[in-house]
Structure 1
Amino acid sequence: MAEADDSIARALSPFLRIHKDGRVERLMGTDRVPPSMDPASPVLSKDVVVSPEPAISVRLYLPNSPSPSSPKLPVLVYFHGGGFVIETTESPTYHNYLSALAAEARVVVVSVEYRRAPEHPLPAAYDDSWAAIKWVGAHSSGQGHEGWLNDHADLTRVYFGGDSAGANIAHHMGLRFGEIESSNGTGIGIDLAGLILVHPYFWGDDPLPEEATEPERRALLEGLWRLANPTATGCDDPHINPAKDPGLLKMGCSRVLVCVAEEDPGRQRGWHYKEVMEKCGWKGEVEVTEAKGEGHVFHLMNPASENSVAMMKRLVKFMNNQ
């Protein structure tokens, strides 16, 4: 067997390296933990295959001890972050956070394992995420393949959420849902109650007021986007810059919660998203909540901090319609 060529074709620190032989070496987000069916745990979890080809799966989280006669629970379809290139549903970071969120909010969480770039550039992540949403909707009659959803999921109260690139996905799933609902009287079996966009990965070719202008910082965010979507014309592509999207009126819900962090390079994009949605003619409401003194996805890095606890409480209130 020929020896692998270990010379580097492209490096995108601190995320990954692409070798000249085509091998992708991910430098972070590679740790994995199994799901838990521990009967003493406050939340049960398991992995379920949605599609063998393309390979799409979900990790489900169910607050422990519900009975079939208990009131059904809201559903959060969650898309993990990682710039479209790293992390998985099996990451201990996401597993622990979503377990805690499921317990605190008393929701069923469907964490989506979508294909990642650069091996599978966009729109693979969008298409996989939509396939997972349709799979959830297939349980609306209570006759789907997954018992947890049949017995415990209230599909009239479904939320799409995610952080960073996952928040980008959640936004576009909301648009796709709205387009389908408006053109298809039967829908896909769910009602979309709202979106949760945590530190969303939005960008643009031109800096916003107060946005970072340092070439190195902007180059990293732009490089990630070009790696994820090599056919895009740039960072004014509507998939990364909602302000350039003429289809925002299609948004399929009336409530959006955006979480931003004061020290996050994408902070201004979160606030700008609120302005764009309000000016486009969409009739819904966008609420923005900001964590002072914090950086990108701080809640995943330090979930026990005061600001992280406060943010989780805000997510819980949003999903309980408070």
Structure 2
Amino acid sequence: MESSASEILCDFSPRLRIYKDGRVQRFLGTEIVPPGTDPRTNVESKDVVYSQETAQIVRIYIPPNATGKLPLLVYFHGGGFCIESASSPTYHNYLNALVAETNIVAVSVDYRRAPEHPLPAAYDDSWDALKWVASHSDGNGPQEWLNRHADFNNVYIAGDSAGANIAHHMAVKMTKAKIDGFNFVGIVLAHPYFWGKEPVGDEIKDPAIRAKVETLWRLAYPTTSGSDDQWINPIDDPSFGSLGCNRLLVCVAGNDILKQRGLFYCEKLKQSGWGGEVELMEAPAEEHCFHLRNPSCENAAAKLKKVADFINQGKA
């Protein structure tokens, strides 16, 4: 008879596997790379602890030969709330490329991951990170790079997949609990991880696949009310349209199971009375977060340029 140490409770291969004894086996997003000067872009980065209580870090990026004040981007990584980190080569390489292309300061946020730290831990950590970043707005924060180079009158937040979900909720929270000295200009949501009990548009209707998506969500958030929980399906949240900024870019991929949710999000936001500017970019025939797995492909280059243009259009 198998011991509990080898009995599988949930199998979400190729992402992760959970065993009955509580052990978590991650297959993706486990590799880490140190910060430093990127030889391809000359972008510099460093890791800084933003919460002594949880020991979580942010990785700060500045472009080569940075001078003066530059737009500030706060980025939340994806991974279904369960895998990846701000230190993984996937995100480190992407942020290096984005900072070089856009000439901005970026802060990539690490947060505690499920299932060891179920939601709302990632939301709580992300909010703490935003407040830590904002503590530099008067030029007297603990990190000189942010004091010297971050333009707190020109702040964006962004994320992909679960990180895009976090970015939406952080935007709503910033509307309710304003952060002093933090002029929030826009959001970039790449392949956002939203869902719902009933299919929207041409979304997949196969009950088995939909059940698997909900099971993964419940793994991340065991106390959730289900697929219509406002954390995963924010459309019915009374604060849905309270984003606290006036510009939004949503990127979707043609072959992504989450594509229809991104389109639905844009449609409903336009109907919410928000009043801001919504931009949509679709990469036909591409998969979920293709730009991270294949950053040299033509569509990934186009997406990088679109995000850079979106941020640079907002420069004062």
- Find the partner of 2:265 among 263, 273, 276: 273
1:222 aligns with 2:219: no
Paired residue secondary structure (1:18):
strand
- 1:41 deviation in Å? 5.1
Structure 1 residue corresponding to 2:223, chosen from 211, 217, 231: 231
Deviations 1:160-218 (A, max 9, x none): 1000000000000000001113xxxxx33211110000000000000112111123432
Deviation at 1:228, TM superposition (A): 0.9
Which residue is 1:250 aligned to? 242
For residue 9 of structure 1, report the CA deviation from its aligned partner. Answer: 2.2
Q: How do residues 1-322 of structure 1 correspond to structure 2 at under 5 angstroms?
A: 5-37=5-37, 42-66=42-66, 70-181=67-178, 187-321=179-313
Where does structure 1 differ by over 6 angstroms across 4 or more consecutive aligned residues? none
State the Cα distance separating 1:13 from its structure 2 match.
2.0
CA distance in 2, matches of 1:314, 1:40: 21
Structure 2 CA distance for aligned equivalents of residues 131 and 11 of structure 1: 32
Deviates most, 110-119 or 236-245: 236-245
Secondary structure of 2:72's aligned partner: strand
Q: Tell whether the 8 Å contact from 2:252 to 2:282 is kept in structure 1 after alignment.
A: yes
Letter of the structure 2 residue corresponding to residue 92 of structure 1: P
**Partner of 1:109: helix, strand, or coil?**
strand
Q: Structure 2: how far apart are the matches of 1:320 and 1:145? A: 27
Q: 1:40 to 1:284 in 2, by over 3 A?
A: closer
TM-score of the pair, normalised by structure 1? 0.93
Q: Please state whether the residue corresponding to 1:250 is helix, strand or coil.
A: coil
Unaligned runs of 5+ in 2: none
Aligned partner of residue 103 in structure 1, secondary structure: helix
Deviation at 1:40, TM superposition (A): 8.5
Amino acid corresponding to residue 58 of structure 1 in structure 2: V
Q: Identity rate of aligned residues, in percent?
A: 55
The one-letter amino acid paired with 1:300 is L
Does structure 1 conserve the Cα–Cα contact (< 8 Å) formed by 2:38 and 2:96? no
Q: What SS does structure 1 have at the residue aligned with 2:177?
A: helix
Task: Give the match's secondary structure for 2:197.
Answer: coil
Deviation at 1:72, TM superposition (A): 0.7
Q: Which ranges of structure 1 fall in alignment gaps of 5 or more residues? A: 182-186
The answer to whether the 8 Å contact 1:45/1:60 transfers is yes
- CA contact 2:41–2:96 (8 Å) conserved in 1: no
SS of 1:50's equivalent in the other structure is strand
- Whichever residue aligns with residue 258 of structure 1, its letter is V
TM-aligned CA deviation for residue 71 of structure 1: 2.5
Closer, same or farther: CA 164–77 of 1 in aligned 2, 3 Å: same
- The alignment yields a C-alpha RMSD, in angstroms, of 1.6
Relative to structure 1, is the Cα distance of residues 42 and 234 closer, same or farther in structure 2, using a 3 angstrom cutoff?
Answer: same
Describe the shift of the 1:38–1:85 C-alpha distance in structure 2 as closer, same or farther (beyond 3 A): closer
Residues 127-160 of structure 1: CA deviation (Å, up to 9, x unaligned): 1001111111000111100010001110111111
Aligned AA for 1:161?
A
